[in-house]
């Protein structure tokens, strides 16, 4: 992208309405703009990040055998009357009437709709297990939308639903999803810790929230260093091996991890001092086993091994895809701006032409731009060097290639790593090789 004709409206001033770093930086770096309270337009740079996160989430869902589908945002109220949640959901649900006066709603989540789709077509236990997911916009009329995309009213969520014949099967699906989550967050460059969450009337221990560590997080968290040392990659743990999944789940649940609400000083005291880690945390995902909570009232049954109809055991698994954009920034920024992890950065590099019109600068920039193409944001604006440096730091691309007249005359460019601030004078070939 050539910045001179790119729609990247950066701001010098800090917007007054933004209370936390990610919200400020998303507005200042031109990633999003608010269109109504808690509703955002994703501008080109922000959308690239959102898509990158979405891609990693999708790849890790697919890797454990979940199947993607796409359900609509608008749902009929009848389904929610069947489950009993139409009244319970309260004011967070956006209710709509169509021209025929039918009650509709903008989906805040999809348990009812997936159960309806499944009950129409799944007839036998032989077709189970199944895990289905979609990545779709949700609407929740939050009382207090705040912190930018972290608590929006319209937000992008990945929600998966598992269907198993019995509890033993549901446990395996649950563990697969937990594994997919840990891999996802690891690839996003985040430290994530699963923490036991409330199960409500369902009971049991199959409900976990995933908290990522960021200095500005809402809750204080305490955890064992073991979580940082585990290799979640597919080589280390196979999602097709029940033993691997069990061993993985035990690792996730036996080491100490708690938010301040559930913190137990006695149990904490038993963790070796050098293994104790404390920090602030943000919830980015939640996985939940709910048994037959929807299958039973909605009449979703399959023929069991003995031919008798049984209501399948289900679970749901959410990741806040758009919240993650803010969460990654909370975990990775400094006083000058965003520091994108390589995996989600909108561009791999910013290319800064410090002197437009200088033959050598222009030639080198065009050459690099030609070779890196879609991976680089070329700052070809008629602006002062200082403005370009500040904007590049603000936008936070992992690399900066700085092309100034003195270096250019000798065929050299300056390569800066945003995360460390380290600069080096290198040849064009070396710069290209390092970025690729
Ligand atoms: P919270 O306690 O933050 O309101 P929740 O319990 O309502 O979350 P779930 O229904 O489990 O959330 O939704 C799954 C995920 O969707 C959450 O872990 C979070 O990452 C994301 N999410 C939920 N509400 C919002 C929101 N208003 N804006 C952005 N992301 C959200
Ligand atoms: Mg909520």
pLDDT score of 150: 96
pLDDT score of 199: 79
pTM given for the model: 0.96
The closest residue, in CA terms, to atom 2 on ligand 1 is 283
Same domain, 139 and 278: yes
Mutate to test the pocket of ligand 1, among 108, 323, 325, 326 (most ligand atoms within 8 A of CB): 323
pLDDT score of 373: 83
Picking from 396, 394, 436, the residue whose alpha carbon sits closest to that of residue 419 is 396
Structural domain contains residue 343: no
Structural domain contains residue 31: yes
Structural domain contains residue 294: yes
Ligand 1 pocket, residue 148 CB under 6 Å = no
pLDDT score of 60: 98
Ligand 1 pocket, residue 142 CB under 6 Å = yes
Give the end of a domain, one of 338, 372, 400: 338
pLDDT score of 6: 96
Same domain, 332 and 356: no
Same domain, 108 and 32: yes
Ligand 1 pocket, residue 221 CB under 6 Å = no
Ligand 1 pocket, residue 154 CB under 6 Å = no
Same domain, 117 and 210: yes
pLDDT score of 231: 83
- Consecutive sets of 10 residues in the chain, 436 residues long: mean pLDDT of each? 96 90 97 97 98 98 98 98 94 97 98 98 98 98 95 98 97 97 95 87 83 88 90 85 92 91 92 94 96 96 97 98 98 97 98 97 97 94 96 98 96 97 97 94
pLDDT score of 228: 85
Give the domain extent around 406: 349-435
* CATH code of residue 142: 3.30.930.10
Ligand 1 pocket, residue 140 CB under 6 Å = yes
pLDDT score of 215: 84
Ligand 1 pocket, residue 151 CB under 6 Å = yes
Same domain, 280 and 409: no
Mutate to test the pocket of ligand 1, among 177, 206, 320 (most ligand atoms within 8 A of CB): 320
* CATH code of residue 397: 3.40.50.800
pLDDT score of 235: 78
Same domain, 296 and 422: no
Task: Say how many domains are in the chain.
Answer: 2
């Amino acid at each position: 992208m050539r910045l001179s004709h790119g729609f990247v409206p950066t701001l010098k001033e800090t917007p007054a309405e933004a209370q936390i770093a990610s919200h400020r930086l998303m507005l200042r770096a031109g990633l999003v703009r608010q269109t109504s309270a808690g509703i955002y337009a994703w501008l080109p740079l922000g959308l690239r990040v959102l898509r990158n996160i979405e891609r990693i989430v999708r790849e890790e869902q697919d890797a454990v055998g979940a199947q993607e589908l796409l359900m609509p945002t608008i749902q009929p109220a009848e389904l929610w009357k069947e489950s009993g949640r139409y009244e319970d959901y309260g004011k967070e649900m956006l209710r709509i009437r169509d021209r025929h006066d039918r009650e509709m709603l903008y989906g805040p989540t999809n348990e009812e709709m997936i159960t309806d789709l499944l009950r129409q077509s799944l007839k036998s236990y032989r077709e189970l297990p199944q895990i289905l997911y979609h990545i779709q916009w949700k609407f929740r009329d939050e009382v207090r939308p705040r912190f930018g995309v972290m608590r929006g009213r319209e937000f992008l969520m990945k929600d998966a639903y598992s269907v198993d014949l019995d509890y033993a099967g549901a446990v395996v699906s649950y563990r697969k999803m937990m594994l997919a989550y840990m891999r996802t967050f690891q690839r996003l460059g985040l430290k994530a810790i699963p923490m036991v969450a409330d199960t409500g009337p369902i009971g049991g221990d199959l409900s976990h929230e995933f908290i990522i560590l960021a200095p500005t997080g809402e809750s204080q968290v305490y955890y064992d260093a073991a979580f940082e040392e585990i290799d979640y990659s597919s080589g280390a743990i196979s999602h097709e091996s029940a033993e691997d999944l069990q061993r993985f789940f035990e690792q996730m649940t036996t080491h100490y991890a708690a938010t301040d609400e559930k913190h137990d000083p006695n149990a904490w005291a038993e963790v070796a001092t050098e293994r104790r880690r404390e920090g602030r945390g943000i919830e980015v995902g939640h996985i939940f086993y709910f048994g037959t909570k929807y299958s039973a009232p909605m009449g979703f049954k399959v023929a069991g091994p003995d031919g008798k109809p049984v209501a399948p055991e289900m679970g749901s698994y959410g990741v806040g895809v758009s919240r993650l954009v803010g969460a990654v920034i909370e975990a990775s920024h400094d006083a000058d701006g965003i520091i994108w992890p390589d995996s989600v950065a909108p561009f791999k590099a910013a290319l800064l032409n410090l002197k437009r019109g200088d033959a050598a600068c222009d030639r080198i920039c065009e050459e690099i731009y030609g070779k890196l193409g879609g991976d680089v944001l070329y700052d070809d604006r008629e602006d002062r060097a200082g403005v370009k440096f500040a904007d590049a730091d603000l936008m936070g691309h992992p690399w900066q290639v700085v092309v100034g007249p003195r270096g250019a005359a000798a065929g050299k460019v300056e390569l800066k790593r945003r995360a460390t601030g380290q600069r080096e004078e290198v040849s064009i070939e070396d710069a290209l090789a390092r970025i690729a």
